[in-house]
Amino acid sequence: MHRAPLESWLINNEIMPLITLFSAPKPFTNPHIALIQRNAVKSWALLPDVEVILLGEETGLAEAARELGVNHLANVARNESGTPLISSMFQLAKDASQRSHSDLLCIINADMILMSDFIEAAIQASKLKERFVLLSQRWDLDVTQPIDFTEGWQNRLSSMVHRQGALHRPAGSDFFLFPFSAYSDIPGFTIGRAGWDNWMIYKARKEKWTVIDCTPSVMIVHQNHDYSHLPGGKPHYEHPDTNENIRLAGGEANIRYTVLDATHQLSANGKLIRPKISYLRFMRGVELFLRKMFFFLPEKMIENVARPKRWKKRIKKLLK
């Protein structure tokens, strides 16, 4: 049985964690990937009221988990090419969450640095809504050295991000935080490929959960890297497994959901507000309207009609 949100819970005089954080890191063979993953996991391990679980059998993962003092589960199911499946990750994380009695779960990419404002946002979202998913845009930063996690590291990192980093466009999501009861029926998506994260937002909107964008109140730091870990060094959206993710998601329309589809934002003062209208949000609304209008067309034709980027490409061709 899960406790009521945010109540203290003791078992054998031990305080149980509020959040179960889970991730499937890449192999620790590439020196830069290893460095940024250690930075990320260390930042999670320093958070209060958090249980961290690393999933998979990738080279160096078990050793890194021991070094960083976090949990490791190796028996995650994989696809034919050996890449972990999201459905198996969720099941393992939920089983662990039941044992630890944590209220919230969070799937997160292994290159993301979290700070204390993340915990504050999770607590506030839990107070305000019962069924929700928390997400945000990320801040991109070039990181080439181990982070010094001594006192004041969060202030130093925040200052560096403001000076040298950039807020990523509202496309793709690097973490999802949600209550234990959410996402009980995850398809067998492949981690590290495109589409599954967009489906997470689609699913939440379809189920009428509150989708909270905490970009105004939380700084989530993505450590930049190349794609040398993927075949041919190509981005994940060009990988064949992405096509299977799209199929499992139910088609192209269901993987077009982004942070722009959030129903609310968590403001810096901790209040839930409706997102302000912007050009990108307006065009997203136009796209959704066109998809409803032309639902009877073949999928590829709907994509050409509904997506503004494709309009621009066709206009450029006509003007040549």
- Let me know if 21 is exposed, middle or buried by CB neighbors in 10 A (0-12, 13-18, 19+): buried
Of 95-99, 117-121, 228-232, the least confident? 228-232
Per-residue DSSP letter, 11: E
**Average per-residue pLDDT for the chain:** 88
Q: pLDDT value at position 230?
A: 56
Contacts of 77 (CB under 8 A, 6+ apart): 84, 85, 87, 88
φ, ψ (nearest 5 deg) of residue 176: -140, 125
**Full-prediction pTM beyond 0.85?**
yes
Question: HEC states along 49-73?
Answer: CEEEEEECCCCCHHHHHHHHCCEEE
Residues counted in the chain = 320
Asked whether 99 and 243 are in contact (CB, 8 A), the reply is no
pLDDT of 234 > 90? The answer is no
Amino acid 239: pLDDT: 67
What pLDDT band is residue 311 in, cutting at 50, 70 and 90? Answer: low
Look up residue 238 and give its DSSP letter: G
pLDDT in tens, 36-57: 999 999 999 999 999 999 999 9
How close are the terminal C-alpha atoms of the chain, in Å?
65
- Torsion angle of the four alpha carbons 219, 259, 268, 218, in this order, in degrees rounded to the nearest 10: -20
pLDDT tens for 56-95 read 999 999 999 999 999 999 999 999 888 999 999 999 999 9
DSSP state of 289: H
